[in-house]
Structure formats: structure tokens, C-alpha cells
Structure 1
Amino acid sequence: MKAADTGAHAKFALIGPEGDFDPRITAHRGDLADIALAGKMFAPHYAEPMAMRCSAPKAMIRRHSGKDHEAISELLHGEDFHVLDIAGDWAWGYCGHDGYVGYIPVHALQHRKKTPEPTHLVAARAALIFIAPDFKSGVIKRLPMGARIACGEASACGSYLKTGKGFVHVRHVQPIGTKVVFDGSNGTAALAEQLVGAPYLWGGRSGDGLDCSGLVQMIMMLTGVAAPRDSDQQQAALGAEIAADDSLRRGDLVFLPNHVGLMVDQERIIHASSHSMQVSIEPLADVVARYAADSDQPVLARKRMS
């Protein structure tokens, strides 16, 4: 992280008026902005991002610095965070996987150069890191679904992979970039079904707690698809529109006002719901009826990944 000169000798110039921007994914605040925005948006100072990586199992990202402020997303173990400013115990910057901007505790981060490059994702609801390649050995830590870890050679028995400080079972991880059939038995809906009963957590996006768009983003990540963070962004970026006369099928996405879920079959949806305060499966008709009480258009879009 290095501040850039904006004084008399600065080489930055704003060309034309500032356009509209999404503050969720634009690293710009009143006093500072990402140097990549120089010439596009005015700021008294610009900074070069410092590449960091989440070393904690997970860490909440907040709208403002301080634990009492709203959580807006979550950074998972092994994910990158580009730091533009550090003040006290908080770092301000943006996530490497989706560009989401916010504040995160400094203690949850480690310089990326000091951490191995992740090779695998936790694809089970959670993974345990054992001291030895034996499920009877002690547990070093627990990582939630979606966490990224660097794995080396397999153990002698072939059931465990070596990590930096222990061993993880091969059934709990998958190589980063794995492609999955979207409507097959091992597709997005099957991955989401592992999370039934997980608590609803505003801003969460891990197997330990998550919101509706956090669920979809994580499941897409596990199928090798990069998805934006929020449901309106996902509606614009993911899949193709399903024709009005075409029935829904397993793996389809259904978008409602500020909400999204995955179909597990033609009639039922799996979603992280603030109504039930957990990840649940219920008839789509029931969900639509609840939203229809407050909206003239309860279903905004139906999308298919293929």
C-alpha cells in the first residue's frame, strides 16, 4: 500500500465528468481511492493496493470500521484482499474474488507473499485440518465450505492431502476451478443441499452461516463460475433467461426482490431465508406468495446456467 502524489507534480488528470459508479465494487471514498481510478474519479489521494490474504477461517467485511457496524460480506480463508488503507485495527480495501469494498480486521490478514497459493476449495460443509493423516489424530482447525487451502502430496493411504500445517481429507476438498454439471446429481443444487439447516447470516457466505446471495455466490464458485456478491448483480451477470412457457428444473436460479434461490426440482427452491433464519427447502409457490404481499412483481427473473 503506497499513497500516490496528487500535488503539483502529479500526473493524474480527470478526463471528463465522473460517471455513475457502484460503491459496492468501486474502491473510492472521500479521502482516498484505488490508483486504478486515477483519471476516472477524483480523490485527494490515490493508493496502490497491497495484496493480502485471509489467514483466519473467515472474517466479516463491514461497511465501516468497527464491530458494531453493518456486515456486508465475508472473506474466507485463503481469499485475497487488496488493502488501500490501514487505520488502527481495520484495513480498508476490496476482495480479490468479486471486488467488494469494505473494512476487515487487520489481524485476519497476512501478506500474500508469505502464504502459499491455494490449490483447493473446501467443498464439504466444513473441513477439519488434522495433525496427522488419521481421523483419530488431533484437529488443528476447522475451515468452512468455500475456504481455500494449499494442498501438497497425498498421504501414504491416499485419503489425505498435506497442507501447510496438517492434513485434510480428500472427500472434503476439490481442486480450484473444478467444473460441475449444473443440473446433474452432483451440480449446484446438490452442493447447496449440504447446507440445509445452516443459519441465516446477513453478509455471510460460508458453510457456517450465509445470506441468500452468499449461498449462490459460494455454490457458483464451487462449480468453477465467478459470481458477483449481491442478488441484483447476480441477476444481471448469471445465466440465460428461461422462456415463460418453459418449466423450471433442478439448478435453475429464481430471483425475487432482494432475494435469490436455487431450484431443487420443478417446484421447490433451496435458499438462505431470513423468514426461516436458515437454509431451507420449500415450495417456490409459498415463497412467491410471501413476496407477493409486498411486491407487484414477486418473481424478477428465472435464469438457467448451462
Structure 2
Amino acid sequence: MTDQEILDKRVHPYRDDLAASYLRGKVTAARFIDGVPCQIGAGFATLKEEPGYEARQASELLHGEAFTVLEEHDGWAWGQNGTDGYVGWLRVEALDADPVPPTHRVTALRTLLYPGPDLKLPFVDILPMGALVAVAGEEGDWRQLAGGGWLHIRHVAPIGQKAADPVAVAERFVGTPYLWGGRTSIGIDCSGLVQVALLAAGINCPRDSDQQQAAIGTLVSSDGTGVAFQRGDLVFFPGHVGIMVDGVTLLHANAFHMEVVAEPLADVVARAGGKGISAVKRL
């Protein structure tokens, strides 16, 4: 097995023709580059597996997240997300080439960006929970962003302020439509829900459920047998993850209900058939 087969291309930016400089010596590529540091300037942006509108969504990037551009091609940029290392393509117009260190994080499910400190003005963008912003000024209950626009103070918090309970964060997403690759209250997938909730609580979290199973928490059980489930336990299935609300209820974004729901864990296990619980991890 070669190094290139070992390294996960979801989080290691390399191809036969191009790779990130930090992978020199680990992979084979025609050329290596440092890339250009940028930042997501749109409210949120779709990250594609391939450079095309019809390509499948791999993930979503949130306003203010760092993104290193390794290549631009026909209006598409290929690079790596600074939050979870995810690699993919996005539209160049979603990027800001002049990154500004964030000072605050959006704590509302979603907030509206206004052109001025007046709620009667038409909003210009939507920023989801977890979006990073740099506050440059204030007027009353409004905060002006360094990149332009105003947010209400009740929808943001200093970047060092963390949520006390990630489950409470996840519960706010109940009813959100299921969306493959989604990370916002407009649409979210199972691992996106867990990631957003844990990041809000200051817990580093990879993007996909298999990565989360490998990296987060302490293993309680490999099959769920005999576990006294607790609030906050992460329950993994092949290709799926949810978070326990209490000893019997699993909160998860799923394609069965096509939304985020809280339901008995026993019901989820029954639907899984032979693909039962693969791990229970405790934060």
C-alpha cells in the first residue's frame, strides 16, 4: 500500500498534478504549492467534490472560516477548509482574499446581515450558527463587521465564549431539513449536526461520522450492549451518528425522517437492521 492510498483525500489536498506543500515527501505530485490564504466571505458556501454546479456537495463552509486556495479554474477554487481540513471546490466569489482575524461567533441558528444598524433595512445576507465575524464598530445594540454589514448583538458572542451544553445546541436544530453535506439550519446532515454542536461548545470535531468516531471522546461500547446511556453520548452507526438527549432518546439528522428529530434510540436501531451501533463515545 502506498502513502497516497493511506492518506485520506478528504483532508489531505493532493492529486497527481498538484499538492499542498506540507505534503511534500508524503505524496507524489507534479508540483507542490503553499496556497493562498483566504476566508469565506459569503454567508455560507457549498463545497463540491468536483468543479461544477451539478457536482455533489461534500460539505458547506461558513462565513469567516479560513480556506487555503491551491488552484483556481473557470471560476472555481480548489483548496482546504481551515476548520476541519476538508478539501474540495467552491465558487471563487464566495471567497474574501483579505482574511481578517475573527473576534465573534454567530450563536443564533441564523442571523441576518444588514447594510446599516436598522432592522427595517433589507438584509443582504444570512449568516448561520458558527459563522465567524470580525467586529469593527458598534452603535447601540448593533455591531459593524470589518468586511461590511451589521449584526444584532444578541446573535453573536465573543469567540472565546463557549456553549455549556452541546446537546442544547443540537436541540435547537430540531425540524431542520436533512441535507447531505449541510452544516446550517437551512439544511444539515448527521455529522454536520454533531460538528456544529460540538464546535459551539469549544470541542474540536472532524467533519464526517467515521472521522468523528475515531477522534472524539472515550469509547464506552463497540455495539451499545449494556450501556447506561447519558446525555451527550455520541452513538455511531455505519455512516451515521447522533447524540443522546437522555438515557433513551437519540437526536439526529437523518434521511428517514428527512429532518432533525429526537426519537427513541431503540427505533433507530430497529430501522438499522443488521447495521447496528458501531460505537458509543462519551465526551
CA RMSD of aligned residues (A): 1.8
The partner residue of 2:64 within 74, 78, 88 is 78
Higher alpha-carbon Rg: 1
Match of 1:168 in 2: 151
Match of 1:303 in 2: 281
The partner residue of 1:287 within 230, 248, 268 is 268
SS of the residue corresponding to residue 168 of structure 2 reads helix
Cα-to-partner distance string for 1:196-238 (whole Å, 9 max, x where unaligned) = 1111110111121111001111111111111111001001111
Q: 1:136 Cα shift?
A: 3.9
SS of the residue corresponding to residue 216 of structure 1 reads helix
Match of 1:257 in 2: 238
**Mean Cα displacement is larger for which, 134-143 or 88-97?**
134-143
For structure 2, list consecutive stretches of 5 or more residues without a partner in the other structure. Answer: none
Q: 1:168 Cα shift?
A: 1.8
SS of the residue corresponding to residue 150 of structure 2 reads strand
SS of the residue corresponding to residue 107 of structure 1 reads helix
Match of 1:206 in 2: 184
Match of 1:123 in 2: 107
Cα distance in 1 between the residues matched to 2:167 and 2:42 = 28
Give the aligned length. 277
TM-score, length basis structure 1:
0.85
Match of 1:266 in 2: 247
Match of 1:28 in 2: 14
Q: Which amino acid aligns with 1:143?
A: L
Contact 1:152 1:161 (C-alpha < 8 Å) held by counterparts: yes
* 1:58-137 → structure 2 map (5 Å cutoff): 58-111=44-97, 114-137=98-121
Contact 1:176 1:224 (C-alpha < 8 Å) held by counterparts: no
Cα distance in 2 between the residues matched to 1:136 and 1:85 = 41
Cα-to-partner distance string for 1:161-188 (whole Å, 9 max, x where unaligned) = 232333322221222243333xxxxx11
Cα distance in 2 between the residues matched to 1:39 and 1:240 = 33
Q: Which amino acid aligns with 2:26?
A: K
Match of 1:11 in 2: none
Q: Judging changes above 3 Å, is the alpha-carbon distance between structure 1 residues 70 and 175 closer, same or farther for their aligned structure 2 residues?
A: same
The partner residue of 2:215 within 237, 244, 253 is 237
Q: Which amino acid aligns with 2:105?
A: L
Cα distance in 2 between the residues matched to 1:213 and 1:102 = 17
TM-score, length basis structure 2:
0.92
Q: 1:153 Cα shift?
A: 4.7
Contact 2:163 2:169 (C-alpha < 8 Å) held by counterparts: no
Match of 1:184 in 2: none
Q: Which amino acid aligns with 1:139?
A: F
Cα distance in 2 between the residues matched to 1:106 and 1:124 = 27
Q: 1:138 Cα shift?
A: 4.0
Q: Which amino acid aligns with 1:230?
A: D
Q: Judging changes above 3 Å, is the alpha-carbon distance between structure 1 residues 55 and 125 closer, same or farther for their aligned structure 2 residues?
A: same
SS of the residue corresponding to residue 139 of structure 1 reads coil
